[in-house]
Amino acid sequence: MGKFLLGLDYGTGGAKCSIINTAGEEMSYAFEEYPILTPKPGWSEHNAFLYWEIACRIIGKAVTDAGIDSAMIGGIAVSSALPSLVMVDKDHDPVHNAYNLMDKRAVRQVEWIRDNIGAEKVFEISKNRLEDHPMIVNLLWEKENRPDDFKRITKALTIDGFINLKLTGKATGHYSGAAFFGVAYDLLRRDFDPIMLERLGLSPELFPQLFRCEDIIGEVTREAASATGLAPGIPVAAGSVDCNAGWMGAGMTEEGDIQMNLGTCGNFGILTRDVNFSDTMINFAYTTDSENIYIIVPTTTTGGQLIRYMRDNFYIAEKNMESSSGTDTYDIINREAANIPAGSDGLVVLPFLMGERTPIWDVNARGTIFGLSLNHTRGHVIKAMMESVAYALYDSFVIIRDSGKRINPPIVLNEGGAKSNLWRRIITDVFNVPTVLVKRRTGAPYGNAILAGVATGVFPGFHMAKEWTEYIDRMEPDSGNHKVYQEYFGLYKQVYEHLKGDFITLSSLRGKFHNH
């Protein structure tokens, strides 16, 4: 039995690898970025060939840094950010670039499904909305726009499914990621609906065989071993969605547990066994028991990305001085916003720089600064932006809370902007719920290493993750601030309602004058 376990994760901007020992201690961590390609408006892609090339490099680096022999690795699990789509041919090579979760090109295909099949029918089967561009709509786009290449596709896979194919030679998927195929994937039956596939004109053969997250799907082949430096024969688990992996790795294992990420997008997850799903949320199976436990994941499209946008466009001098001053620009940003009162002296932001997902599902919505006055500084805009992300997530939280779903405080803040003390304070006060921070924030690859341990029997169960996670910096909500935020949250919602129609007008003007 192996003494070490390896987890890999593919995000929107890069891949990570982590090796842990049987006591849950991290032995090494490796990361490599890859470019996000946007060749046309609405398109967001990766060069799919890079996924495997990078896997070979970061696995090698992690093994070297851990100072171990790869034959001592007892199991591997992989996750990826979804929806993503890697189309492979009979030789297991990618057909075209891969789609990542920001791709929104399949607008006409979504409209066709809505007109010919109906949004209600899609929700009835998939328990998810059509709007979020599930992988099936991208396949329909391929079929319509590149019919000759479409015929070369033998399997439609997630990024982690592609890596598992390269590792084991087997095309597989897992219940936690299958929901992101959408439209024809029946969430409760855990299979593709044959009648729906027929109506869409897609062969069931295109889709991988699905497994529980902790099922062993195969082992590292000789070919994969020589490419990665791994020993052949290491068992590979079916894998998981990246947010599941990160949250499970930080101890999210019980019904009602809640964790939040402020990465590029902002989201949180709540575990439930209740299958009365809301059509305003994103719903899928959870890693720890992918046949019975589900996770509800509200998502605001631009979370941490808002502050990154401000840094890159309004803190250019500070950013250029980083190496000489030794100061992180984000520290300056936090300092400037730190003393601004709750409500940002009457400044309200709508954080919809790239449209919005839950709960409003509005592709036309755009960022708005409302109430700007001569007394407002950069710090006010930053604070109002942080507040706006909290409002966007709170909007979904209220819907879930009022539906009677179980929620176990505190809110555990995990990846991304959560390391900002100020932002955590805002979230604590807006939600009126205590928060804690995860001390070890390696995220998804660490969770995958635990999944590999459970899959291979090295660990008795997922409860180990909670035992190994330390929660720090507990914050209690300030009732005075919460009162202020309740008033501003009401205004935030009102401003959006008033502008909703104007966003549609703006979208048609952009299309008319700027689409070239």
pLDDT in tens, 444-491: 999 999 999 999 999 999 999 999 999 999 999 999 999 999 999 999
Does residue 42 surpass a pLDDT of 90? no
pLDDT band at 222 (very low <50, low <70, confident <90, very high): very high
Q: What is the pLDDT of residue 446?
A: 97
**Backbone phi, then psi, for 243, in 5-degree steps?**
-65, -40
Does residue 347 surpass a pLDDT of 80? yes
**Stretch 316-333: mean pLDDT, rounded?**
94
Query: pLDDT tens digits, residue range 239-263?
Result: 999 999 999 999 999 999 999 999 8
Please write down the long-range contacts of 204-208, taking CB distance under 8 Å and 24 or more positions apart. 205/154, 206/139, 206/153, 206/154, 206/155, 206/156, 207/155, 207/156, 207/173, 207/181, 208/155, 208/156, 208/157, 208/161, 208/171, 208/172, 208/173
Question: Within 13 Å, how many C-alpha atoms sit on residue 204's CB side?
Answer: 10
Domain with CATH 3.30.420.40 in the chain: 4-243, 250-301+396-479
Does residue 416 surpass a pLDDT of 80? no
**Among candidates 497, 303, 269, which has minimal Cα distance to 387?**
303
Question: Residue 466 in 3-state DSSP?
Answer: helix
3-state secondary structure 367-393: CEEECCCCCCCHHHHHHHHHHHHHHHH
Does residue 121 surpass a pLDDT of 70? yes
Q: What is the pLDDT of residue 495?
A: 98
Does residue 516 surpass a pLDDT of 80? no
Does residue 73 surpass a pLDDT of 70? yes
Hey, which CATH number is domain 4-243, 3.30.420.40, 2.120.10.10, 3.90.1150.10, 3.30.1380.10? 3.30.420.40
Does residue 433 surpass a pLDDT of 60? yes
Give percent of the chain with pLDDT exceeding 90. 91
d(CA 490, CA 53): 49
**Backbone phi, then psi, for 14, in 5-degree steps?**
180, 175
Does residue 207 surpass a pLDDT of 90? yes
Query: pLDDT tens digits, residue range 21-40?
Result: 999 999 999 999 999 999 99
Contact 277, 296 (CB under 8 A): yes
d(CA 393, CA 413): 13
d(CA 127, CA 182): 9
Contact 272, 408 (CB under 8 A): no
Q: What is the pLDDT of residue 511?
A: 85
Q: What is the pLDDT of residue 1?
A: 55
**Stretch 390-415: mean pLDDT, rounded?**
96
Does residue 507 surpass a pLDDT of 70? yes
Does the pTM of the predicted model rise above 0.85? yes
Q: What is the pLDDT of residue 515?
A: 64
Fold for the domain defined by 250-301+396-479: Nucleotidyltransferase; domain 5 (3.30.420)
The mean of the pLDDT values for the chain is 95
The token pair at 476 is: 């209690």
Q: How many CB atoms lie within 10 A of CB 337?
A: 26
Place of tokens 């290491």: 234
